[in-house]
Structure 1
Amino acid sequence: MNAPYDGDGRVPPPPQPSPHGPHDPYGQEPHQRDPYLGDAQQAPPADPRQSYGQQYYAPDPYLDDSYATGSFTPYPYPTQDRYAHDPLTDPLYDRRSSHAPQQDGYQQQYYQQPPTPQGPDPRAWSPEAAAGHQGAVQQPYTADQAGQGYPGAGDAYGAGEQPQRDAFAHLYRDQQPYEPRSGQGQGYPQGPPQNYPQGQAPAQGQAPFPGPPRSEPPGATAAAPTVAAPVVTAPTTEPEPKKPSGSKGRASSVLQSSALMAAGTLVSRLTGFVRQMVVLAGLGAATLGSTYALAYTLPTMVYILTIGGGLNSVFVPQLVRAMKEDDDGGEAFANRLLTLVMVVLGLLVAVTVIAAPVLIRVMSPTIADNPADNEVAVTFARYCLPTIFFMGIHVVVGQILNARGRFGAMMWTPVLNNIVIIFTFGLFIWVFGTAGSSKMDTTTITAEGIRLLGMGTLLGLVVQSLAMFPYLRATGFRFRPRFDWRGHGLGKAAKLAKWTVLFVLANQAGVLVVTQLSTAAGAEAENQNAPGMSFVGYSSAQLIWGMPQAIITVSVMASLLPRISRAAHDGDSGAVRDDISQGLRTSAVAIVPLAFGFIALGIPMCTLLFGASGTDAAVSMGYILMAFSLGLIPFSVQYVVLRGFYAYEDTRTPFYNTVIIAAVNAAGSGLAYLLLPARWAVAGMAAAYGLAYAIGVGVAWKRLRNRLGGDLDGPRVVRTYTRLVGASIPAALLGGGSAYTIMQTLGMGVVGSVAALLGGGLVLIAVFYIAAKRMRVDELTAMVGMVRGRLGR
């Protein structure tokens, strides 16, 4: 009655005495034939590893059970969840009320393993916990470890308690996991074998080597062999939650994160159009308007040339790194950065206000040579230059918010700046009248008018920057000035920023050349009765042209850049490639058709927005916009590709790339000024701008591809862009033809411009959508699905 029962009614013969210790009634020789197993399951008569000259503790080629957490072989199916439950044993061993979902993947069948000297005995319970342990012991694969309840796993039990035995386990021994064994006797060495091959030790998470066997009380009745989970130490940390996988999940999150930013940027750009409209209505598109445009552009150029480039790109990865590595979540680093920026920009404002006449002469010798024009321009510049300080505050606070996952504030607060300026120019027009009615120029504008416009422009930037701090406080961040700048990573960021400063220096050098040439060409075109072909016309058309890139590409990459920076910091080049590819393809869905839309609808856009400055000037701006149009595609691609270099904290490569772009832009603008008539010179400069980016993006693409190991998902990106271009060409032809017909019928006034935009735009959108759907553009389907989901359809 006390003989061990093996589940089939037979009693095994007594084992031979072991020379290594006391007789073990359950022990077997390592390679002894099991009389109860079939021929297919018999172990080899001798250790096969010795016959081939292998080390005695080399990996066992037969130990390939996917559930065996044994010590000699790696996990054979790395894609299969080793914590997944067995569907065959669930009904028999489910001690929980809830079931985890069935894991995907192939479940390997159990089978009897050939016994080895260090192999466990599946008929015995696992060793007791180490002496001295008093806490609760957690069984593996429980809800506490994996985050959900798995069938067949019990709860935690105390150090002195035994797990509950399963009385029916012996009936289904072929379905039991291969567990460590222990038996009576001294035949098992303690700890790992000393001659285990170097580098072959069990990895973390594998079953430990069997410890000393536990002994049964003398005369105890041998119970049916059962299986229990091995006793292990309770995990000290909770595992990370399972992250969603798949490109669809990433695309959905990026689209949703970008939607809020795109909405803010859209409203900001629309109010920016209104601002430009009132500026042209109050000051006109002639020299007076160019002086204000020059003064308004000067602070931005100085800011970017000095500190803005580094703040925009270099410090985002630094902030992300500080949030991940610093104990305070990067708050001290952000406070030091914000304090340093305030000090530097305060000094910079003082210097530039004093040097305003020099800056105006550098920007436009044509304006500086005329005393009246120079005086108005210098006065405007001294009101506008203090905005450099508030630009920097706005950018730094916005980057802190972006690093903390708050993307909307940086896109929405510029709306306040535009509203203040719109109100200021509305008041100016109410007092002095429009440029067309007052015939105002640089010799007749009053000091009060200049003061009103200058103070209103400065106040707009003040409101924009201060409006960021409530959003910052909502994240738990508290600004405290800190002047301990040494030894906290700011020096490294400054070294990285030096290449970015050179980058923007090269970029602004090209802008400076264009500014000088466009003001000179504008003066000649004005004498030839061709208004609008000037610097103010160039900047106004560029404002419309850059709207898609600012709304879509910048918004998409603002949400992707922190994620790309984390992947680059972790050395995951595959994730960086996937996010760059996703940013390129997602933004292209809107960028490509809008680029062709500027060709089709450029003139009605400008006559509607800038018609108050005169129809001829507005038509000239429309031609400039058409010349800009196709350059939007490489301009957007260049922006995305450079974010990959910035994520790796590589600012040298973007600098060299920008030198190429600036050189091509300056050379092309110079050729346009020399070879084209004065009334078409500025349009030629706009075309040269797009050509320069087309050349630059080819160089940047090749360098980033090499950086990521020769793969930038090129075929997929090229396929998407090719299909989008193929869908946009017929859409632009039909949409442009419809708009031209409407304007010829209704004229170029407000009614004709609105009708042409609506009619031509609807035709363009409809044709593009139908063509893109037939070409199976997946990114368009994803974007349309997100929009329809937002609308509840």
Structure 2
Amino acid sequence: MRSGAIMAVGTLASRVTGFLRTSLLAAALGAGAIADAYNTANTVPFIIYDLLLGGVLTAVVVPLIVRARERDAAYGARYEQRLFTLAVLGLAVITAVTVLLGPVFIDVYGGSMHGSQRDLAVLFARLFAVQIFFLGVSAFSGAILNTRKRFAAPMWAPVLNNIVICTTALAFLLVTAGKVTPDSISGLQVGLLTAGTVGGMALQTLALWPSLRGSGFRWRPRLDFRKGELGQMGRMAVWTLAYVVITQIGFAITTRLANSAGVRGRAEHLGDVGYTPYFNAYQLFQLPYAIIGVSVITALLPRMSEHAAAGRLAEVRDDFSAGLRLCSVIILPAAGLMAMLGSEIIVVLLAHGQTTLANAHVIAEVLRMFAIALVPFAGYQLMLRVFYAMQDTRTPALISLAVVGTNIACALTVYRLLPADKIIVGIAGGFALAQTAGAAVSWVVLRRRLDGMDGRRVLGTYAKLAVALWPLIGFAYAVHAVVTAALGEGLLPGLLALAVGGAGGGALYLAFAKALRVGEVQTMVATIAGRLPGVRRG
């Protein structure tokens, strides 16, 4: 809980500034053709990183480093050096190849982009590819810090990235007059967006080095791998890469369909209904999971890896149960508030500048659909880490076939059946269904592996939280209905509804959860209160 709290504060700062970044970029670029080109191109570096390194870091590197250090501290330190050197060299090669293949990636993910929009997206894709190197070094550095039980710096470093991009968006607004399109954007504006986007990631990477040095890590390039080390990593990485490839195939298809929906929507005069509204809604949907879910998962993974290495599967089961129940305390009410106050959240955060009220309504529809996915998504992600802690990367890859297959089938179905302005809402619904399938299958498999999942306690906690959630939902919906009827829509009515509905609904939720004796809520409240100045501990 202490480690999770430290990371949650850092993640909260990161996500709050990330919200500001999303809001300012939406104000600067809008939700139309130029925003689709920017967001699609800026997604490519993260896709390539996930394909070739991201999953390996989580599923392979952290457990291997933990086990190497358990075997021998000096050997573990040398092993870290070898892995870090291999990662740096690999990242340099991957970055260069991605720059060359920029047009290919836009053809894959850009859907029906053509003309000046496609040209701009290709240019951005090539320029933004430099982020792959910094992103990989940053993630690898964070993984090393996590194995050394230093969680704060990796959670706080993204704040610097967000600040740089916020400044870039403001500067873009200052040098821009009127609406910018792919045909009218200037070289200065392209250079400004590129410098801010790439520079922010570079600063995020450099910010981790003081913490690395403070932890005792000194990088001395070496590639003197011992016999069997690369083979062990390769055997684990093969299935991890298979998992990532499968998930990215699903992402490529849904992104392409969303971009095609945007082109169709503009041609049919239905507004901006493409990838950018979907992208913005997804960023907001992830906030509760990122604040509490990622923090708890990151703190638990080294601990679960140690227990799994020692064969203490009962303790792995207990760690999972505690993490899932703790996550649910925040994630359930967050899903309820997103569903009831989604319109107000989007209007307050994004309906500014180039992003209109009509754009906000589209994003809010997608966000409400994503809210359904929040609980199964968090549970599925936590269960994946249990497999990784046991050095099993094969099972998650096989489960992902069912998850991605469901997602693709739903996306293709809604693309063919729904009007253009409803396609991205349907794709979000397919995502929710796929995450539910992944969570259900993972639960069944892990239940056999761990000789149970502490299901009675987990389901008991969820049942109590579900009861406590209904007063929040009712109150938030009532506030939404009253404020909308009395004051209409806009920034001030949205702020009022969020303040009253969020605070009042949250208070009702806590009161009912306490009355139902939900221990995880009491633990979290006590931990937060104990960290506040002037609050007595006891």
Q: TM-score, normalised by structure 1?
A: 0.66
CA contact under 8 A between 2:331 and 2:374: conserved in structure 1?
A: yes
CA contact under 8 A between 2:341 and 2:498: conserved in structure 1?
A: yes
1:298 aligned to which of 44, 64, 67? 44
The aligned residue for residue 383 of structure 1 is 127
User: Which region of structure 1 is more displaced relative to structure 2, 517-526 or 654-663?
Assistant: 517-526
By how many angstroms is 1:526 displaced? 2.8
By how many angstroms is 1:486 displaced? 4.2
Any idea what the Cα deviations from partners look like across 1:427-447, whole Å, max 9, x if unmatched?
1111114xxxx1210001012
By how many angstroms is 1:449 displaced? 1.0
1:451 aligned to which of 181, 191, 194? 191
CA contact under 8 A between 1:735 and 1:762: conserved in structure 2?
A: no
SS in 2 for 1:781: helix
CA contact under 8 A between 1:379 and 1:450: conserved in structure 2?
A: no
The aligned residue for residue 264 of structure 1 is 10
The aligned residue for residue 416 of structure 2 is 674
The aligned residue for residue 325 of structure 1 is 71
2:55 aligned to which of 309, 320, 323? 309
Q: 2-side partners of 1:327 and 1:553: how far apart?
A: 30
What 5-or-longer segments of structure 2 have no aligned partner?
none
CA contact under 8 A between 2:98 and 2:129: conserved in structure 1?
A: yes
CA contact under 8 A between 2:110 and 2:118: conserved in structure 1?
A: no
Q: 1:782 to 1:469 in 2, by over 3 A?
A: same
Any idea what the Cα deviations from partners look like across 1:414-470, whole Å, max 9, x if unmatched?
11111111111211111114xxxx121000101221111112211111111111111
SS in 2 for 1:365: coil
- 2:515 aligned with 1:774, yes or no? yes
By how many angstroms is 1:351 displaced? 0.7
By how many angstroms is 1:329 displaced? 6.1
The aligned residue for residue 113 of structure 1 is none
Q: 1-side partners of 2:381 and 2:102: how far apart?
A: 31
- 2:374 aligned with 1:650, yes or no? no
Name the amino acid aligned to 1:604: E
SS in 2 for 1:717: helix
1:727 aligned to which of 450, 458, 468? 468
- 2:26 aligned with 1:285, yes or no? no
Name the amino acid aligned to 2:111: P
CA contact under 8 A between 1:409 and 1:468: conserved in structure 2?
A: yes
1:788 aligned to which of 529, 534, 537? 529
Q: 2-side partners of 1:680 and 1:348: how far apart?
A: 37
The aligned residue for residue 420 of structure 1 is 164
CA contact under 8 A between 1:522 and 1:535: conserved in structure 2?
A: yes
The aligned residue for residue 616 of structure 1 is 358
Structure 1 segment 373-772 matched on structure 2, within 5 A:
373-433=117-177, 438-487=178-227, 489-612=229-352, 613-709=355-451, 711-772=452-513
Name the amino acid aligned to 1:362: V
Any idea what the Cα deviations from partners look like across 1:272-324, whole Å, max 9, x if unmatched?
11111111111110011000000110100111111221112211111111111
Point out the structure with max Rg over C-alpha. Answer: 1
Q: 1-side partners of 2:60 and 2:313: how far apart?
A: 19
Q: 2-side partners of 1:491 and 1:745: how far apart?
A: 67
CA contact under 8 A between 1:669 and 1:688: conserved in structure 2?
A: yes
By how many angstroms is 1:488 displaced? 6.4
Any idea what the Cα deviations from partners look like across 1:642-662, whole Å, max 9, x if unmatched?
111101100000001111111
Q: 2-side partners of 1:530 and 1:337: how far apart?
A: 51
- 2:86 aligned with 1:340, yes or no? yes
CA contact under 8 A between 1:305 and 1:501: conserved in structure 2?
A: yes
SS in 2 for 1:498: helix
Q: 1-side partners of 2:131 and 2:7: how far apart?
A: 23
Q: 2-side partners of 1:668 and 1:733: how far apart?
A: 31
Q: 1-side partners of 2:23 and 2:437: how far apart?
A: 33
SS in 1 for 2:112: helix
SS in 2 for 1:413: helix
What 5-or-longer segments of structure 1 have no aligned partner?
1-254
SS in 2 for 1:432: coil
SS in 1 for 2:74: coil
CA contact under 8 A between 1:533 and 1:682: conserved in structure 2?
A: yes
By how many angstroms is 1:382 displaced? 1.2
Name the amino acid aligned to 1:256: R
Name the amino acid aligned to 1:383: L
Q: 1-side partners of 2:74 and 2:477: how far apart?
A: 56
Q: 2-side partners of 1:374 and 1:535: how far apart?
A: 14
Q: 2-side partners of 1:489 and 1:277: how far apart?
A: 46
Name the amino acid aligned to 1:391: L
CA contact under 8 A between 2:29 and 2:35: conserved in structure 1?
A: yes
The aligned residue for residue 40 of structure 1 is none
Q: 1-side partners of 2:204 and 2:371: how far apart?
A: 30
Q: 1-side partners of 2:371 and 2:160: how far apart?
A: 29
Any idea what the Cα deviations from partners look like across 1:95-134, whole Å, max 9, x if unmatched?
xxxxxxxxxxxxxxxxxxxxxxxxxxxxxxxxxxxxxxxx
CA contact under 8 A between 1:548 and 1:591: conserved in structure 2?
A: yes
By how many angstroms is 1:533 displaced? 2.3
Q: 2-side partners of 1:278 and 1:303: how far apart?
A: 26
Q: 1-side partners of 2:73 and 2:30: how far apart?
A: 55
SS in 1 for 2:511: helix
Q: 2-side partners of 1:609 and 1:528: how far apart?
A: 28
Q: 2-side partners of 1:332 and 1:531: how far apart?
A: 56
Name the amino acid aligned to 2:432: G
Q: 2-side partners of 1:637 and 1:268: how far apart?
A: 22
Q: 2-side partners of 1:344 and 1:641: how far apart?
A: 29
Name the amino acid aligned to 1:526: R
Q: CA RMSD in A?
A: 1.3
Percentage identity across aligned positions? 38
Q: 2-side partners of 1:729 and 1:630: how far apart?
A: 15
CA contact under 8 A between 1:541 and 1:624: conserved in structure 2?
A: yes
SS in 2 for 1:441: coil
Q: Tell me the number of residue pairs that the alignment of Structure 1 and Structure 2 aligns.
A: 532
Q: 2-side partners of 1:532 and 1:639: how far apart?
A: 31
Q: 1-side partners of 2:162 and 2:206: how far apart?
A: 15
Q: 1-side partners of 2:526 and 2:167: how far apart?
A: 39
Q: 1-side partners of 2:512 and 2:176: how far apart?
A: 51
Name the amino acid aligned to 2:167: F
Structure 1 segment 79-228 matched on structure 2, within 5 A:
none
CA contact under 8 A between 2:373 and 2:436: conserved in structure 1?
A: yes
Which structure is higher in helix share?
A: 2
Q: Relative contact order (alpha carbons < 8 A, sep ≥ 6): 1 or 2 greater?
A: 2
CA contact under 8 A between 2:111 and 2:257: conserved in structure 1?
A: no
Name the amino acid aligned to 1:733: G
Q: 2-side partners of 1:570 and 1:496: how far apart?
A: 19
Q: 2-side partners of 1:656 and 1:624: how far apart?
A: 29
By how many angstroms is 1:532 displaced? 4.1
Name the amino acid aligned to 2:340: A
Name the amino acid aligned to 2:11: T
By how many angstroms is 1:390 displaced? 0.8
The aligned residue for residue 61 of structure 1 is none
CA contact under 8 A between 1:312 and 1:395: conserved in structure 2?
A: no
Name the amino acid aligned to 1:689: F
CA contact under 8 A between 1:530 and 1:617: conserved in structure 2?
A: no
Q: 2-side partners of 1:447 and 1:375: how far apart?
A: 13
Q: 2-side partners of 1:327 and 1:375: how far apart?
A: 52
